[in-house]
Amino acid sequence: MIRLGMAGARVRDGADCGPPTRGTKARARFEREADLAARLDHPNIVTVYDRGVDGNRPWIAMQYVPGTDAATVGVLEPLRAVRIVSEVAEALDFAHSRGVLHRDVKPANVLLGATEQGRPERVLLADFGIARLHFDQNPLTQTGTFTATLAYASPEQLAGSAVGPQCDQYSLACTLFVLLTGAPPFAANNPVAVIQSHMSADPPAITLQRPDLPAGLDHVLRRAMAKRPEDQFGSCGEFAGAVRSAFQPVGAEAGFGTSTAARRIAVTMVSPVPAPRPSRTRETRRPDRRAFSGAAPNPAHRVGRCGDNEPRTWALSWPWRGSLH
């Protein structure tokens, strides 16, 4: 149960600890979640302030994030989905550098915080409830109960094998698939079928469901969801960089440089090409520099001026701490 606590925080109650033996294990697991999350000080990770026990109920005081989560927003514009996944990738790489795996990356654990008008939404990774250290052999995480969400689980998690940072990369790729299509890559009513697909099937080509997306995205997702961790990208950030590259950055082409303060992505939406209009002339405009001033994402903003027989291109600018590649 979540209840609001002090200003800027929320308090999460654990389940009643119950009988002494079971209660000791439940309390220890709950405290592990708080301790793991508390060591992760990053702008894209929900902050844990304190923990304790009230009667027989453990609690955690954590950062309150007004807004929603990525599971509730439906199919997203490509630019927004790429930005969200890029920021989650930064959070995951930071956690991995501190020896922590999340192990349950999914849209419901990606919080989208409301911000002041004219600024992009905040993206924060939450719920390290089943997180563990890379080297952790603690029996609290070896209970034999599979706790990750099935639709986003990596093959090594499903097989009960040793897991590393690539398990989070696999889940992040599944998350991007959902944000862009509204459904997980392996959707079935039978859980066994979902497990078998994660274990042995190639992910479906996302461009079959969304032909407007760049063809290169199929290859990027296929690699991030490779069955063997060693065949995946070296990090979540590398995966996110490949996603951005698939969407063809336009900074150099537009003549605006590549400042680290803002990175731009263009998505080309190709419409059926009608017969040309021979009598019509078209003026070509330089892209409006104001489009890259750090304003709120505006998928409707077009670079240049497009006619009916031209691809339509959108551009987005947002604060960026990493590199495009």
Active site residues: 104
User: SS3 for 45?
Assistant: strand
The span from the CA of 252 to the CA of 248, in Å, is: 11
Quote the tokens at residue 198.
């994660």
| Cβ 269 vs Cβ 286: under 8 Å | no
Read off the DSSP letter of residue 67: E
Angle (deg, nearest 10), helices 78-97 and 236-246 = 160
Residue closest to 46 by CA, chosen among 113, 97, 106: 113
Count CB atoms within 10 A of the CB of residue 91. 25
The span from the CA of 171 to the CA of 153, in Å, is: 6
Quote the tokens at residue 170.
């696999």
Give, in degrees to the nearest 5, the angle at Cα 268 between 226 and 124.
Answer: 55
